[in-house]
C-alpha cells in the first residue's frame, strides 16, 4: 500500500521562504501535499476546512497578526496538528510563549535541512523540538520568570490584584472605584503601586508585564 500523503500547511508571507521550505519538506516527506497561506486569515480558512492536517509550520511575523495570536486561535478552534513555530530570531520569550500555547517545536529561519529532519523525527516520536542551546535557555527563562512571578505575587494584595484585573478589562479609575466600592484616590494609589512592582511606565505597559509574568491571562 502506498504511504498516505502528509498534509502540511506552511504559513508565511515571504515567497522565497515558502518556496524554499516547500522544496525542503517535499524532499524530507517524500509523499506530501503542501498547502500555503500568506496571512493568518488565509491560514485559518484552510485549517478550519482541513481536518486532515498533519503539520503546520507557522511564521511568527504575519501581515495581519502574530504567529502566537494565530497559534492561540488554532488551539481554540481545536486544530490539533503539531505546530512548529518559525522565526528569524530565537528570542527565548517568544519560544517559551509558543510552547506554552501548544507549539510542538521551534525552528529558526536560518535553520538547515538537518534541523527540519530532526524536528520532524522528535515530534513524530512524541517529543518537543528545540535547537541546541534553546532548550536550556527556555528552562532558565521559565525559572527566572517563575521566581519573579512568586516575588511579585507575595507583594500584591488581593485588592491590588482585583484592580489589576479590572485595568486589564479596560476599566477607568472611576469605574474601578465603583466596581470595588472604594474611593478613586485609593484606586490611584493601587495603580501606582502596581506600576512600581511591575516596573511599568503606564497602564498598558503594566498589563503587558503582568501578562508576560502570567499574573493575568
Series of mean pLDDT values for 10-residue runs along the chain (217 residues): 79 90 91 93 94 93 93 92 87 89 92 92 95 88 86 91 95 96 96 93 92 83
Q: Quick check: 57 and 84 in contact, CB under 8 A?
A: yes
Domains of the chain: 6-131 (3.40.50.2300), 156-212 (1.10.10.10)
Cell of 191: 495603580
32 CB contacts (<8 Å, ≥6 apart)? Answer: 5, 6, 7, 8, 25, 26
pLDDT of 217: 76
The rounded distance, in Å, linking the Cα atoms of 42 and 173 is 40
Cell of 95: 519560544
The rounded distance, in Å, linking the Cα atoms of 97 and 108 is 15
pLDDT of 2: 55
pLDDT of 111: 83
For the chain, how many residues are written? 217
Q: In what order do the strands lie in the sheet with 6-11?
A: 32-37, 6-11, 55-59, 83-87, 105-108
Half-sphere exposure of 29 (CA within 13 A, CB side): 20
pLDDT of 1: 45
109 CB contacts (<8 Å, ≥6 apart)? Answer: 17, 86, 87, 88
Amino acid at each position: 500500500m502506498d504511504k498516505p500523503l502528509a498534509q502540511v500547511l506552511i504559513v508565511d508571507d515571504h515567497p522565497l521562504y515558502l518556496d524554499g521550505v516547500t522544496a525542503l519538506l517535499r524532499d524530507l516527506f517524500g509523499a506530501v501535499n503542501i498547502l500555503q497561506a500568506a496571512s493568518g486569515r488565509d491560514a485559518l480558512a484552510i485549517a478550519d476546512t482541513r481536518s486532515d492536517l498533519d503539520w503546520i509550520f507557522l511564521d511568527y511575523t504575519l501581515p495581519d497578526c502574530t504567529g502566537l495570536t494565530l497559534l492561540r486561535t488554532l488551539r481554540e478552534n481545536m486544530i490539533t496538528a503539531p505546530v512548529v513555530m518559525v522565526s528569524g530570531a530565537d528570542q527565548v520569550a517568544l519560544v517559551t510563549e509558543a510552547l506554552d500555547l501548544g507549539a510542538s517545536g521551534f525552528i529558526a529561519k536560518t535553520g538547515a535541512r538537518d534541523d527540519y529532519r530532526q524536528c520532524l523525527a522528535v515530534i513524530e516520536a512524541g517529543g518537543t523540538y528545540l535547537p541546541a542551546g534553546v532548550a536550556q535557555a527556555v528552562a532558565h527563562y521559565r525559572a527566572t520568570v517563575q521566581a519573579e512571578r512568586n516575588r511579585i505575587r507575595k507583594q500584591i494584595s488581593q485588592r491590588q490584584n482585583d484592580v489589576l484585573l479590572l485595568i486589564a478589562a479596560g476599566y477607568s479609575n472611576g469605574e474601578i472605584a465603583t466596581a470595588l466600592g472604594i474611593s478613586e484616590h485609593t484606586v490611584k494609589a493601587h495603580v501606582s503601586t502596581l506600576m512600581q512592582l511591575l516596573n511599568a511606565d503606564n497602564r498598558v505597559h503594566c498589563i503587558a508585564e503582568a501578562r508576560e509574568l502570567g499574573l493575568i491571562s
